[in-house]
């Protein structure tokens, strides 16, 4: 589906592109009402030379902003009135616009996909078969997968000749041993793929790559990474490979999150069905959108808002977030035979010094020590000299991992 307007824009972009147009890979990360897009050099690099955030899609308040490599605002063309009405309309407008602004020749698109299921241990070229397989996984990742699939389907329709690569949040956990992947349900259920997968793999992949530079020799030891954002999970690594993680079959498991409860007694879920008469749809809504920090505080899913609130329920929500993180860090450390370093990342992990401090204090029994001054400025290295277990902040960069995996799949296609 190409509208006359976008066709004209595309033609203009083609005509205006210098012969030396830079070859680029486009990364796409589609959320429920947003799309993050970025152009990376086709041959390498971890910073996009142009990035874009489209927000509040589907509303009359839709907006789009562009940034250059140094994160300075770039003036883009005004957003046409109808481009913000849907993900597809936005993508249709966006590609020619990015090509034009970035003076770029886009050679492939890499899409973030939360759930790859049992068959996708690494990134892959998208075709109709892959779309169908990913479609079947929608019930396992309702807050992300439908929007990502929508972006994939739109991209297939809008840019049929452009190779599209799906990059999965589950792939990084392919190295988790069978015992840690198994859910203690009957075999015939396990055989249907009901097992633990783990998520946030693009983020863990990035942090794993940064460990040698930040941790030195400890990088190859036992490291626990806490990805604390609106979604939150832990990953236990040995020699930079995932061995344990807190999310499971779906993104509902593990830590308390912005809107999700994390680990919940399955008996409580049965009770809600059997005794309180909630429907499947009501349960899904409650578990994916009304629980976690939002549910406990009754105020917000946003940690910043809760930290500024004087309400006792906001304090309880924060205390529970910290309590569960401390408890699960202990569990992951047990799974990987101890801990040499603890790394924080994600919106909360990178920015919320008081939350990090509370978690680090709770982990003192593991031998973790930290310097409050270093913590206050979100330093890479938080621990005083001589700490047996060190603590760190490392910014995540999921887009760079999508770009890297996209380049790798593209290179494989081109070498065939």
Residues assigned a catalytic role: 169
Residue 407 phi, psi (nearest 5): -60, -40
When the beta carbons of 103 and 313 are compared against ligand ADP, the nearer one is 313
Among 303, 343, 360, 391, binds ligand ADP (CB under 6 A): 303
Q: Does position 230 bind ligand ADP by CB under 6 A?
A: yes
Q: Does position 347 bind ligand ADP by CB under 6 A?
A: yes
* Angle of CA points 90, 95, 99, to nearest 5°: 145
Among 231, 248, 254, 292, binds ligand ADP (CB under 6 A): 231
Instruction: Report the DSSP beta bridge partners of residue 344.
Output: 226, 393
Q: Does position 258 bind ligand ADP by CB under 6 A?
A: yes
Strand order in the sheet with 22-30: 73-74, 63-68, 50-55, 35-41, 22-30, 104-113, 164-168, 124-125
Site string for ligand ADP, 174-213 (x = CB under 6 A): ----------------------------------------
Cα separation, 270 vs 104, in Å, equals 53
- CB of residue 290 to ligand ADP, shortest distance in Å: 16
Among 346, 368, 389, 397, binds ligand ADP (CB under 6 A): 346
Cα separation, 36 vs 51, in Å, equals 8
Q: Does position 221 bind ligand ADP by CB under 6 A?
A: no
When the beta carbons of 31 and 84 are compared against ligand ADP, the nearer one is 31
Q: Does position 34 bind ligand ADP by CB under 6 A?
A: no
- CB of residue 99 to ligand ADP, shortest distance in Å: 27
- CB of residue 65 to ligand ADP, shortest distance in Å: 16
Q: CB-side exposure of 24: number of CA atoms within 13 Å? A: 26
Q: Does position 304 bind ligand ADP by CB under 6 A?
A: yes
Cα separation, 278 vs 82, in Å, equals 38
- CB of residue 388 to ligand ADP, shortest distance in Å: 28
Q: Does position 295 bind ligand ADP by CB under 6 A?
A: no
Q: Does position 302 bind ligand ADP by CB under 6 A?
A: yes
Among 348, 400, 401, 403, binds ligand ADP (CB under 6 A): 348
What's CA 223's distance to the chain center, in Å?
19
Q: Are 39 and 26 in contact (CB under 8 A)?
A: yes
Q: Does position 229 bind ligand ADP by CB under 6 A?
A: yes
When the beta carbons of 219 and 348 are compared against ligand ADP, the nearer one is 348
Structural tokens at position 18: 């210098």
- CB of residue 199 to ligand ADP, shortest distance in Å: 11
Beta strands 241-245 and 222-228 are unpaired
When the beta carbons of 233 and 383 are compared against ligand ADP, the nearer one is 233
Instruction: Enumerate binding residues for ligand ADP (CB under 6 A).
Output: 229-231, 258, 302-304, 307, 346-348, 351-352
């Amino acid at each position: 589906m190409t509208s006359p307007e976008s066709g004209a824009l595309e033609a203009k972009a083609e005509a205006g592109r210098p012969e030396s147009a830079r070859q680029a890979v486009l990364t796409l990360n589609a959320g429920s009402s947003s799309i993050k897009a970025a152009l990376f050099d086709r041959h390498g690099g971890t910073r996009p030379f142009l990035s874009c955030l489209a927000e509040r899609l589907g509303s009359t308040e839709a907006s789009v902003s562009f940034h250059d490599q140094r994160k300075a605002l770039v003036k883009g063309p005004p957003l046409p009135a109808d481009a913000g009405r849907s993900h597809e309309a936005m993508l249709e407008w966006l590609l020619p616009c990015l090509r034009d602004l970035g003076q770029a020749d886009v050679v492939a698109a890499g899409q973030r996909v939360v759930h790859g299921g049992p068959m996708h241990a690494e990134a892959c070229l998208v075709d109709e078969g892959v779309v169908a397989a990913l479609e079947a996984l929608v019930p396992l990742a309702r807050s992300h997968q439908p929007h990502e699939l929508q972006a994939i389907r739109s991209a297939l329709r809008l840019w049929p000749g452009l190779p599209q690569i799906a990059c999965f949040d589950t792939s990084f956990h392919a190295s988790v041993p069978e015992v840690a992947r198994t859910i203690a349900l009957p075999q015939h259920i396990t055989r249907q793929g009901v097992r633990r997968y783990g998520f946030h793999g693009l983020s863990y992949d990035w942090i794993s790559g940064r460990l040698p530079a930040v941790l030195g020799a400890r990088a190859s030891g036992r490291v626990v990474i806490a990805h604390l954002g609106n979604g939150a999970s832990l990953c236990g690594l040995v020699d930079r490979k995932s061995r344990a993680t807190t999310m499971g079959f779906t993104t509902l498991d593990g830590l308390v999150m912005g809107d999700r409860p994390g680990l919940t007694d399955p008996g409580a879920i049965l009770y809600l069905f059997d005794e309180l008469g909630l429907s499947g749809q009501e349960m899904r809504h409650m578990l994916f959108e009304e629980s976690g920090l939002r549910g406990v505080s009754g105020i917000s899913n946003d940690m910043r808002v809760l930290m500024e609130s004087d309400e006792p329920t906001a304090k309880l929500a924060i205390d529970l977030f910290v309590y569960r993180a401390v408890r699960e860090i202990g569990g992951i450390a047990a799974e990987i035979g101890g801990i040499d370093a603890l790394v924080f990342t994600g919106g909360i992990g990178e920015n919320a010094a008081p939350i990090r401090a509370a978690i680090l204090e709770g982990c003192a029994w593991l031998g973790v020590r930290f310097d409050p001054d270093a913590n206050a400025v979100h330093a890479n290295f938080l621990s005083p000299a001589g700490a047996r277990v060190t603590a760190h902040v490392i910014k995540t960069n999921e887009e760079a991992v999508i770009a890297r995996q996209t380049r790798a799949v593209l290179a494989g296609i081109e070498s065939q």
